Amino acid sequence: MQIPREALQLRIFIGESDSFGASPLYEAIVLKARELHLAGATVLRGAMGYGKSSRLHTTKILRLSEDLPLVIEIIDSEDNINRFLPVLDEMMTTSGLVTLEKVQVLQYGNKVPA
């Protein structure tokens, strides 16, 4: 699989407790992206954050939050990302934030020795 040098980065900000059916939302999004052959997806777990409600989600030494912030990043061609957006929209039934930005892909996969 090749990604063009000029690509899009899709970022999805959700909570760890958000769900899609019986599955965690982050898991459902990553599995759907894989099913649709997007180049790759990464889920990042935040130590602290807040969103539209301004409710603070954080880890503490004595208390672990059960709803930490998550960011899912997916980078692929503009066409592939645009094809994925309607699918993502159907999955995002709770609050969340979705952003897009242009990125330059410098390397994808293994570098071939010269």
**In angstroms, how far is CA 13 from the centroid of its own chain?**
7
CB within 8 A of 50, min separation 6: which ones?
56, 57, 69
CB within 8 A of 90, min separation 6: which ones?
none
Asked whether residue 62 carries a pLDDT value surpassing 60, the answer given is: no
Domains present along the chain, CATH in parentheses: 18-104 (3.30.70.120)
Q: What percent of the chain has pLDDT over 90?
A: 61
Asked whether residue 70 carries a pLDDT value surpassing 90, the answer given is: yes
H-helix or E-strand spanning residue 90: helix 78-91
Give mean pLDDT, residues 19-30. Answer: 96
Residue 63: the pLDDT is 54
Residue 8: the pLDDT is 96
0.75 surpassed by pTM:
yes
Residue 26: the pLDDT is 97
| CA within 13 Å, CB half, 17 | 5
